Structure 1
Amino acid sequence: MISENELVFTLALQRVPNLGDASAKKLLQHIGSAEGVFKEKKQNLLKIDGIGASKIKDLSSDRFLEEAEAELSYMKANDISFSYFKDSNYPEKLKHCIDGPMLLFQKGRIDLPKRKILSIVGTRKITTYGKAFCEQLIEELAPLDPIIVSGFAYGVDIVAHKAAMEHGLQTIACLAHGFEQVYPKVHKKYIPSIEENGGFLTEFWSNDAFDRTNFLRRNRIIAGMSEATIVIESAEKGGSLVTADIANSYNREVFAVPGRTSDSQSEGCNDLIKSQQARLLTCAADIVYMLGWKLDKTPVKSVQAELFVALTDEETIVYEYLNQHEKVLLDEISQHCTMPTYKVATLLLSLELKGVVRPIPGKLFQVV
């Protein structure tokens, strides 16, 4: 954890116009501290590759340090904590994004270390189909206890936050403004419950007002901190497609929910799948399989577990085939049980949650 003095200088550095997070972190890497950056001679800073005069011309201004002191006072008075990009409480995957924020401000009970994190984004004009899919997806994922990240906006965002809380999951809302504002205002009623079951993250200072140009910066946090970004519904153009594009640039998995070609709110998702910018998502098992997830604590049951667990007819077919083999690939199960791969993946997740099947390294499965 950085000292309060270094925090003030880092806040000030964050405020310097034209610098940006990537360049600021480059300065920190070479100089060693934010305080050192402000005190270093400009001619020495200009020797750093990629640092031009326009980026550091305002470093000599005292205004940024004064503003930083005021912001720190606001943080203390309003119970706002922070995470520094080198600290353990900073999102681990976001540390590897060159343009990730130096500082993130947060409120609530956010607990990130060693947690599975998924981002769910989509249209503000969510349909009944999209809402039902989002709620069902989170219900199916709940036993794996992932953190659900979204943007606190209308539509898919707020549906994802609410569904996560309904199933006891931690949820994080990433904001495109500071904590003095609430957008949309109608969502103010959800603030206490989200803070109780996760919290809010933003890189914006308390008095930074809502501005549509902030969405791009907010979206890179949503994409960067997660293992995968899921697009539930999107029109042909929309912010969620930008988030998907950013996620791809970070080499993250992207999933999209397909829809009918006649549905305007499915155009974006269908295009992502068609252009191979996203994997087709039909159920939670697709995510579990592609990310190689497994339950943190696989229930220990005997090989006769089928006597005590109610299985559907299709689950029984898959289970009996697995029971005849030590370990089997998904595609092999699909071939021998004459079922489509996506169907087998769904059945395997169900069997895993019932404690009778488990995944093992190499994308193989075996009976518990």
Structure 2
Amino acid sequence: MVNRRRFLALGSLAGLFPTLSFGAKPSVASPIDNKPVIETATATPMVISTWKQPKANAAAQAALDKGGSALDAVEAGVRIPESDPKDTSVGYGGRPDRDGHVTLDACIMDEKGNAGSVTFLEHIKHPISVARAVMEKTPHVMLSGEGALNFALSQGFKKENLLTKESEAAWKKWLKTAKYKPVVNIERHDTIGMLAIDNKGNISGACTTSGLAFKMRGRVGDSPIIGAGLFVDNDIGGACATGLGELVMRTCGSFLVVELMRQGRTPQQACEEAALRIIKKQDYKDIQVGFLAVNKKGEFGAYSIQSGFNYTLTKNKKTEVTDAKSYLK
């Protein structure tokens, strides 16, 4: 606590040096109320997602067109690959763990900083919707395993067999050698991370996965971890990650991207710096991690360690898939 004598002394210094600035002029935060200083103009509504996901983006954009929130949009968007049996790294049809079980992880985060997450969830096709229910209907952020399943069933979600014949056949083929080596850009890991800005300029995000194919039973990656696979700060922007989740978790990757934007980096610069943090500490030649980010002004960026990472952007009713810049060409 500052006593009266100390207070007067500080006041005297302020009088002697009325224009003195102790440190650089703050560019991203007010010293008075600690609120970020950013442009207040509402960005054009948009949807951006990891990898080639035009159908997912279309569903998200449809939600926005109906007046839905960014939260509604990202949930609607990622439910598309969750229910697609041809997408073998998320939801129904996802590749199983090494014991033959399809286990799912997902998280969601809204413009108010609320978040919900499920990990190690079985038998539920849409873990992203369970994650939203965790956020909105419980006092918790994350539920896991049997507890997550019981909660989902209590909320009316249907218990289903998620292991398709195709994924089961791939698993049985893998069992012949049981060699575990993730392949860059083949196992897309989180499959889809999505960020959206709605008509009010609010940002929300979602991330959903069945994780690494043939992973150890119980393994959870970065996708359901708030701050790793996904992070949103509505005053600044949002970010999501894809690739080898263990590396993203070790650097709190998505949180790092948003914090770098808070410090004044563009989304592109922030994604590049986050990737470089991993590169500096890892043998990166055979691993892939990619970051995707958007700020409050609607500027976006994407960057990965290896080439081959792409993203899907929907803006002004136009959807494009673009290859992200990468450290290795």
- Decide: shared fold, TM above 0.5: no
TM-score of the aligned structures, taking structure 1 as reference length = 0.24
Larger RCO (alpha carbons 8 Å, 6+ apart)? 2
TM-score of the aligned structures, taking structure 2 as reference length = 0.26
Larger radius of gyration: 1
Hey, which of these two has a bigger chunk of helix by percent?
A: 1
